[in-house]
Structure formats: C-alpha cells, structure tokens
C-alpha cells in the first residue's frame, strides 16, 4: 500500500523485483544505486538472515522526483529467487505497490521463469492480495547474451497478459534499468492519482479491474486486456537528476 504524507508532501512506493534466481534482480538495484546521485539515494543494504545464510534481501531507498507537488520516494527490494523460502517472499511482498517481474531471456531459463511467475501468484494470494490487480511491468533481462529468445516468443511462452508494459534490458551493462523503474512508477502513480485527494497514511492503489492472468485457464478469446486510460498523466521527472555525471 502506498504511503501518503500530506504534511511532508511525500508519497512512498514499495516496489519489489521478483523473478528467477540469478535473473538480474539484485543487479538492477546495484546499477540504480551506482548511477544515482548520492543526495537522492539511501544505502544499498543487504540482509543476511540466520535461517538462510546465503539469502540476501536488497533494500534501496531512492528519491525519484516530484508528482503533482509531492516528492516520490521509492523503496526498492529484491530477494534472490534461488534461495528464498516462501515465508520470506510473502514477508517482502506485504504492502507491495508494484512488481517488476525480471525475466531471464536465455532459452534454458524458461522453466525457472515459469516457476517464478506461478510462485509470485501463489505468494501474493497467501497474503490476501489479488495478483491480477497489482501494478506490474515485465523486464526481459540479459538481452546482451547469446542464446536468448525473441521477446515476442518469451511473452507467448510465459503467457504475459496484454496490457502489462514490457521492457528489454541488460542490467549487467546498465541499459533498460532506469526505463523499467520509470515504467513501474508511472503505472503505480496512475492508480494513485492526485495524492492530495488521498487519505493520510497507507492507501490502496490496485488496478480498478483485474487484468488477464498469466497462463489463463480459459481460451485465448476470453482474455481481456486492461482498458487504456483516456489521458495518461505524465510524471514530472527530470531524468538528468537520476544519474550522476
């Protein structure tokens, strides 16, 4: 749930990077941290739990810019998929505002991507959240590597519903990373609307109507895309303020 503070004129979004293990989730956060001016970012913190010695939870607070006079702050979080238990994933997903589904574009990662999608659906539902109403974007990562599938084929094989923004990236090389951040923030802020009209504290910013599901059980003809908004509210962001140099 989005945090709205009227006195400070601030909006805080919690965004979770989810996906197959070693797909590039933590690398996204590392690039964002490295290329963002120090005055606009917090520390990139990795938490090593006692129960899972090799589990790292990456947490990066970030100031993005202004939207309708409110400062937009982000809490970016990722959990390595190859280690984390569902209890940990459910904890991380609690009160989430938006999901970045990081897809490994390599052909041999299809099974892992498939599992990550189904696991995300399961863990959101365990916390009482409808996964079909959570703002989401899909990032096709590792586009710099050989042996990758075409984006169109990836979308078809993973059953990505129409209406979800799809982006390409190479987190290792740094391109496509900030475009992904801006895309998920834009989707979230479209649901929030004018912050001044919202209540103080945590507010729900789910999609008004559920989109089609990943791997729909019905025929393709029954898949309905989310209705486009008549007027898209552009974020008042200065891209040059996001990166150093």
In a domain, 245, yes or no: no
Domain count, the chain: 1
Question: Which carries the bigger pLDDT value, residue 141 or residue 50?
Answer: 141
Task: Give pairs for 5-9: CB < 8 Å, separation 24+.
Answer: 5/200, 6/195, 6/196, 6/200, 8/71, 9/69, 9/70, 9/71, 9/195
Domain that holds residue 119: 2-204
Q: What is the mean pLDDT of residues 76-92?
A: 79
Position 180 in a domain: yes
Least confident of 31-40, 132-141, 175-184, 213-222: 213-222
Measuring CA to CA, which residue among 241, 134, 233 is closest to residue 178? 241
What is the structure's pLDDT at 178? 94
Tokens 């801006």 sit on residue:
182
In a domain, 43, yes or no: yes
pLDDT class of 49 with cuts at 50, 70, 90: low
- Which of the two residues, 60 and 16, has the higher pLDDT score? 16
**Domain presence at residue 209:** no
Asked whether residue 222 is domain-assigned, the answer is no
pLDDT at position 142 over 80: yes
106 in any annotated domain: yes
Q: What is the pLDDT of residue 208?
A: 92
What confidence tens digit (pLDDT) does each residue in 177-212 have?
999 999 999 999 999 999 999 999 999 999 999 999
* Domain CATH for 21: 3.40.50.300
Residue 238 lies in a domain: no
Query: Could you count the other beta carbons within 10 Å of the beta carbon of residue 59?
Result: 17
More confident residue, 60 or 118: 118
pLDDT at 223 over 50: no
Where is pLDDT greater, at 53 or 69? 69
User: Is 99 among the domain residues?
Assistant: yes
pTM of the model: 0.85
């Amino acid at each position: 749930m989005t945090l709205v503070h009227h006195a400070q004129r601030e909006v805080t979004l919690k965004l979770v990077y989810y996906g197959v293990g070693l797909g590039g989730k933590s690398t996204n956060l590392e690039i964002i941290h490295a290329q963002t001016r120090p005055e606009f970012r917090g520390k990139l913190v990795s938490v090593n739990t006692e129960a899972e010695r090799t589990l790292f939870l990456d947490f990066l607070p970030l100031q993005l810019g202004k939207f309708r006079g409110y400062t937009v702050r982000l809490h970016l979080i990722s959990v390595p998929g190859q280690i984390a238990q569902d209890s940990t994933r459910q904890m991380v997903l609690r009160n989430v505002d938006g999901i970045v589904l990081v897809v490994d574009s390599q052909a041999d990662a299809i099974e892992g991507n498939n599992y990550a999608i189904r696991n995300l659906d399961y863990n959101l539902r365990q916390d009482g959240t409808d996964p079909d109403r959570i703002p989401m974007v899909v990032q096709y990562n590792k586009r710099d590597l050989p042996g990758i599938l075409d984006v169109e084929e990836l979308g078809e094989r993973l059953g990505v519903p129409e209406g979800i923004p799809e982006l390409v990236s190479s987190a290792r090389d740094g391109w496509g990373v900030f475009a992904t951040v801006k895309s998920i923030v834009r989707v979230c802020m479209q649901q929030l609307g004018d912050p001044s009209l919202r209540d103080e504290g945590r507010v729900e910013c789910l999609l008004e109507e559920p989109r089609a599901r990943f791997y729909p059980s019905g025929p393709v003809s029954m898949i309905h895309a989310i209705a486009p908004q008549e007027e898209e509210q552009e974020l008042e962001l200065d891209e040059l303020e996001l990166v150093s140099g």
